[in-house]
Amino acid sequence: MAAGSILETLYILFKSNAKDVQKDMEDTEKKTKKTVESLNAFGKANEDVRQSFLGLAESFKSLIFAGIGVSAVLGGLKHATEYATEVAQASKNLQVNAADLDA
């Protein structure tokens, strides 16, 4: 009878351990699922930040090109003004019509 009692005790221990193992596995599965969901949410947030940064970089690039364009126009105006001033001064010194001298 002692052997039967030992077997019953082992069976009860095995059965209760199996339930604990199954519960632990279910808990682990739930936690893994939550972790995957969190990682997916983080990945989406990361992608949103990346897209925002790319949009900002595109805007900054457009701003730089606009600044270069404005700078070129202002430089052209400055050059034209200096040229007109030099032609006017030379025409005065040479006593020649400025339009004739420019031609």
pLDDT of residue 16: 65
As a whole number, mean pLDDT of residues 9-26 equals 71
pLDDT of residue 41: 85
Q: Which of 81, 53, 10, 26 is nearest to 34 (CA)?
A: 26
As a whole number, mean pLDDT of residues 57-61 equals 87
The answer on pLDDT for 85 being more than 60 is yes
Confidence band for 46, pLDDT divided at 50, 70 and 90: confident
The answer on pLDDT for 28 being more than 70 is yes
pLDDT of residue 4: 60
